Amino acid sequence: MKEAVLNYWQRLSRTGLRDDESVMEFREVILINRLMIFIPLLMAVYIPIEIFINGLKMIYAVSSMAVLFMITLFFHYLRLFKFAKYYLYLISSLFIVFMGVSVGRGINNHVML
């Protein structure tokens, strides 16, 4: 069972990669893939906390963020590594700006600090 999970983790981590990739690109893609796999797991823990503190106000935004980040794995699968990197930077920046502007202090996120 443990070996099957590790094999699955390795396969997901190497999504879109071939053996002839440069070392830097190889490491960068694996890091981004692992982060994009970890985000939904983190959101699964965060969403109940968010519901407890703020109700259902932010659930759609947090869920959409996780889904938009997961699209990066699809771009890696298509071997669009540079596009995936820029997409991730753009989505992250837009999400931070959007949440800061639209929500402000109204949902008590300062409590999470």
pLDDT of 46: 84
Mean pLDDT value across residues 21-31: 87
| Alpha-carbon separation of residue 56 from 47, 49, 69, 90 (angstroms) | 9, 11, 21, 26
Contact 69, 36 (CB under 8 A): yes
| Alpha-carbon separation of residue 37 from 3, 69, 88, 97, 101 (angstroms) | 18, 9, 13, 23, 28
| Each residue's pLDDT tens digit, 55-112 | 787 788 888 888 899 899 999 999 999 999 999 999 988 887 777 777 766 655 555 5
pTM, 2 dp: 0.77
User: How many Å apart are CA 112 and CA 25, to the nearest integer?
Assistant: 35
User: How many Å apart are CA 52 and CA 79, to the nearest integer?
Assistant: 40
pLDDT of 53: 79
pLDDT of 59: 82
